Structure 1
Amino acid sequence: MPMQQSNPYGVQTRHAPVVALKEGDCPLAFTREDFIRYAGPDQIIASALMFQMLTCASSALSPDEPMERNEVKLQVGFPGPGVTDIIELVLRGSTRNAHNITIKTEGLPMETPEALIGRFYFEFEYRGRRIALWPVGGYFTEEFRAQVKQFQPRKGDDATQEAYQSFKHGMVAKLMAADPSALFHMKIVA
């Protein structure tokens, strides 16, 4: 059996896992590589976070069939550019389904990881069921925030950028190696 190959962004290119949705009778499948192609190579951490989060939300809210993309509602606690790009790609969250997306960066649970804007806290709703998801500790730390603030997008000299890209790839590897159900705290929201 052939081994899976990775490109420079750490994305599996053969037999890659997908986020499966549907639109009417049309099945949709998005790989993490699709996320990177849409959001850009500076957004590899956002692509990993959103891939795992969408996988977890789909399993929790519609375990037996792909969710209908036009019926997914999402409250976003961290509206970073990579996150919002992926929401547009997958859910049409800034164009056709903008009414299904709410950005709320204030008054979020304090136990959720702080972001540069807001917190890493997201609520997904599908067909009357609503859950909150936020990453477990150890990922979106003060070191992460300091690195992003100082070096993204592509700030610093070549050696600094090389170290920052290595940091990002290490974080992506940790995020993608985790089982999505173990990567996030989940709470049912009334």
Structure 2
Amino acid sequence: MELTAPATLRIRDHGIELAIPFEACRLYHGEDSIGGLAFGYRRVCFALSKLSPGRTADRRDFRFKTAFPGPGVIDALEMTTRAVSRGALEVIPPESAPRCAPEAVYGRLYFEASLGGPGLCLCAREGIMSEDFIRTGRSVKAGGRDPALLAHWTELKRALARAAMAARDEELFAIVPEGGETRNA
């Protein structure tokens, strides 16, 4: 399956600018949670565009919180910012996410990112993960091993990856200001 991100993520590490294409994240993670990986990569790109416009941010300055600890999302975050290994990621309880944050297979699609100053709070747009995606994912996570179910799950994850890469930022994310009501990205 060919996936191309709209842009290559650029971030600084110990004074060296790194260009991290989506394919590097894919090689790091594999294909199992490809939908979450693509969504997570786009989320880091979006956060960089909002928190560090016109300059390359240092990955050591990034801090994240999320109510969605999916393996693809987490691996995209680790590969690009090293937030997990640096202890710069906090997983928050889903019930502490704003009401506007859509449900996911587990948790809620709510994220916070900061670069040492004021942060960015955002939710995924409603419908990014379809009801079928959530229902099927929950069945698989609960131990469902029917070959047809697993094949459907694989296709749903691939469809999410394609959609995440093809979408414009404002189709994926909504910024959440204080008070929990979303506004356009």
Partner residue in 1 for 2:8: 18
1:91 aligns with 2:105: no
Q: Aligned ranges for residues 140-179 of structure 1 at < 5 Å?
A: 140-151=129-140, 156-179=145-168
Q: Aligned ranges for residues 1-190 of structure 1 at < 5 Å?
A: 8=1, 10-12=2-4, 17-95=7-85, 97-98=86-87, 100-105=88-93, 106-151=95-140, 156-188=145-177
Using the TM superposition, give the Cα deviation of residue 132 of structure 1 relative to its aligned residue in structure 2, in angstroms. 0.7
- Distance in 2 separating the partners of 1:67 and 1:181: 22
Give the TM-score normalised by the residue count of structure 2.
Answer: 0.84
Note if contact 2:102-2:124 (Cα within 8 Å) is conserved in structure 1: yes
- How many percent identity over aligned positions? 26
Partner residue in 2 for 1:5: none
Number of residue pairs matched by the alignment: 178
Q: Structure 1 residues 188 and 128, CA, compared in 2 at 3 Å: closer, same or farther?
A: farther
- Distance in 2 separating the partners of 1:55 and 1:111: 22
**More relative contact order in 1 or in 2 (CA 8 Å, sep 6+)?**
2
- Encode CA deviations 1:119-151: one digit per residue, 9 max, x unaligned: 110001113121111111111233221111223
- Which amino acid in 2 is paired with 1:149? R
Unaligned runs of 5+ in 2: 180-185
RMSD of aligned Cα (Å) = 2.4
Using the TM superposition, give the Cα deviation of residue 34 of structure 1 relative to its aligned residue in structure 2, in angstroms. 1.6
- SS of alignment partner, residue 148 of structure 1: helix
- Encode CA deviations 1:128-187: one digit per residue, 9 max, x unaligned: 121111111111233221111223699534443333322222222222111123310013
- Which amino acid in 1 is paired with 2:3? V
Note if contact 1:154-1:161 (Cα within 8 Å) is conserved in structure 2: no
Note if contact 1:75-1:103 (Cα within 8 Å) is conserved in structure 2: yes
- Distance in 1 separating the partners of 2:37 and 2:155: 16
